[in-house]
A = this chain, B = another copy of it.
Amino acid sequence: MNVQLEDCHSKRRAILNSTLTLIKDYGFHGTPMSQIAKHAHVAAGTIYHYFDSKETLIVELYVETKEKLAEAILMNYDETKTYKERFFQFMINQYNFYINNPSALVFLEQYLNSPFAKNYPEKDSPLFLEKVIPFFVFGIENGVFKNIDSRLLGPTIKGTLVAAANFRLAEQMIYSEEDIIEVVQIIWDGIKKQ
């Protein structure tokens, strides 16, 4: 059954969720395993049934969170739309994901700026690598964007979106769809050819 399937690793999920929540507020090293256990309502030892170590837990949390981000970005993907339209859809989806998952936003940023990212460069979301990145590479290779390296393009785009999401979250206000579009327009104006 589906329920069965979802439930069969419910403790694993609880652990991951608790880790995400706690790291948002206290950071990696401010979040001891004992606290994760308590927050997830499991015994400390139980965490080690699902994860080899705290390091593993965090890296796996990163991969899964990034995967969810990729899924969100790819929502309502419509090949029939123009590249620009699909670009805007990607951006809006990403923005909305951050707004709806602030813990994920904080965690992802923290992770990417920590030694973890350098120590496990190969650990990343398959969906992101296989679907999201290539979309932008396509844009560059086909002359949609200025002729800049794709590895530069990505952070540029992300930097602005993340900044916007953080800002909106800090203000604790709900913004309209147009606000989001305005931000994406800034990005688009910066990178589009000509």
Contact = CB atoms under 8 A, between A and B. Distances in A.
A65 to B, nearest CB: 15
A183 B148 CA distance: 9
Contacts of A188: 190
A156 B186 contact: yes
Contacts of A190: 160, 186-191
Interface string A154-172: 1110111011101100000
Contact of A114 (B27, B155, B163, B164): B27
A29 to B, nearest CB: 3
A182 interface: yes
A158 B162 CA distance: 11
A100 B154 CA distance: 23
Q: How large is the interface on A (under 10, 10 to 19, 20 to 34, 35 or more residues)?
A: 35 or more
Q: Is the interface of A mostly helix, strand, loop or mixed?
A: helix
Identical subunits present:
4
Interface of A: 25-30, 106, 109-110, 112-115, 146, 148-149, 151-152, 154-156, 158-160, 162-164, 166-167, 182-183, 186-191
Contacts of A166: 155
B167 A160 contact: no
A154 B149 CA distance: 23
A164 B183 CA distance: 20
